[in-house]
Amino acid sequence: MARAVSNREKTVTTIVAWTLGILMFFPILWIAILSLKTEVDAIRGPIEVLTSGWTTESYGAVQARSDYFKHFTNSVVIALGSTLLGLLIAVPAAWAMAFVPAKRTKNVLMWMLSTKMLPPVGVLIPIYLIFRDTGLLDTRTGLVIVLMLINLPIIIWMLYTYFREIPGEILEAARMDGASLRKEVLYVLTPMAVPGIASTVLLNVILAWNEAFWTLNLTASKAAPLTAFIASYSSPEGLFYAKLSAASVMAIAPILIIGWFSQKQLVRGLTFGAVK
């Protein structure tokens, strides 16, 4: 029997939740405020910043200096491309691990996850040389491949968790009805795991969208996404806080909007199978 929650506990929990939420969101709010200030006002104290005038000139300057829509298009292609390519590989791999008995499945999963612990700079030089010699340097295709590879362990791990919650008897029934392996994966398994697949897609799009190390080191101008767009406002002459804040807002706004409208689906997918 569930324990009754008192009004005092609800109030305390609400206050703590709001406090944590405000603390986590405050940096984004402050960046948005600085983006609406002049460069002179942006470096003043907090009180002076809030009481100074408001302007959108930084957004105009950013767009005049950089082609925002080119970088935005690159980010969309790279994030979606790497996620979809990862799904094509991860769905069969996760299916095999979840439904084909194997003694070392958990060891393989742990090994894949351990590859995320490797510092990216440790393999930067060989990957850079491979990309240079194969013509993948500063291309969308190259970034799609490398981001797919670095996020593939997470995709497989998440899908494996969701697939394990699906009763194996359903797949056995499909096989008895004459379903081939391809139809079993496409028409039985995948529709049942839509919440989990959706949350996996959202999470990996966010990871690919925010990836900075590889995008800064493997691109120059042609395939540069929004992370390179932001970094261009940090120069030896100093930081242009207002313009840097405007560029940051323009870069994070699309992913914030997607996350806001898909939060229910994301939560549903992340809690998929948690309650039986």
Domains of the chain, with CATH numbers?
A: 66-232 (1.10.3720.10)
- Averaged pLDDT for residues 65-83: 91
User: Residue 95 pLDDT more than 80?
Assistant: yes
Give residue 256's pLDDT: 84
Please choose, from the candidates 54, 52, 47, 17, the residue with its C-alpha nearest in 3D space to the C-alpha of residue 32.
54
Give residue 166's pLDDT: 79
- Averaged pLDDT for residues 218-241: 79
pTM above 0.85, yes or no: no
User: Residue 1 pLDDT more than 60?
Assistant: no
Q: In the predicted model, what is the mean pLDDT of the chain?
A: 84
Q: Which residue has the higher pLDDT, 197 or 79?
A: 79
User: Residue 218 pLDDT more than 80?
Assistant: yes
Q: Residue 69 has what DSSP assignment?
A: H
Q: Which residues, listed in sequence order, are joined to residue 238 by a DSSP beta bridge?
A: 235
User: Residue 274 pLDDT more than 50?
Assistant: no
Token readout for 92 is: 């069969």
Q: How far is CA 274 from CA 46, 164, 198, 211, 269, in A?
A: 44, 11, 16, 29, 10
Amino acid symbol at 29: L
State pLDDT tens for residues 121-159.
Answer: 888 999 999 999 998 999 999 999 999 999 999 899 888
User: 234 and 225 in contact (C-beta within 8 Å)?
Assistant: no
* Residue 140, CA atoms < 13 Å, CB-side half-sphere: 16
The label of the residue with tokens 């405007």 reads: 246
User: 109 and 97 in contact (C-beta within 8 Å)?
Assistant: yes
- Distance separating alpha carbons of residues 204 and 211, to the nearest angstrom: 10
- Distance separating alpha carbons of residues 261 and 213, to the nearest angstrom: 28
| Per-residue pLDDT band at 162 (split at 50, 70, 90) | confident
Lowest-pLDDT range of 88-92, 191-195, 252-256: 191-195
- Distance separating alpha carbons of residues 36 and 42, to the nearest angstrom: 9
- Dihedral of alpha carbons 190, 193, 194, 200, sign: negative
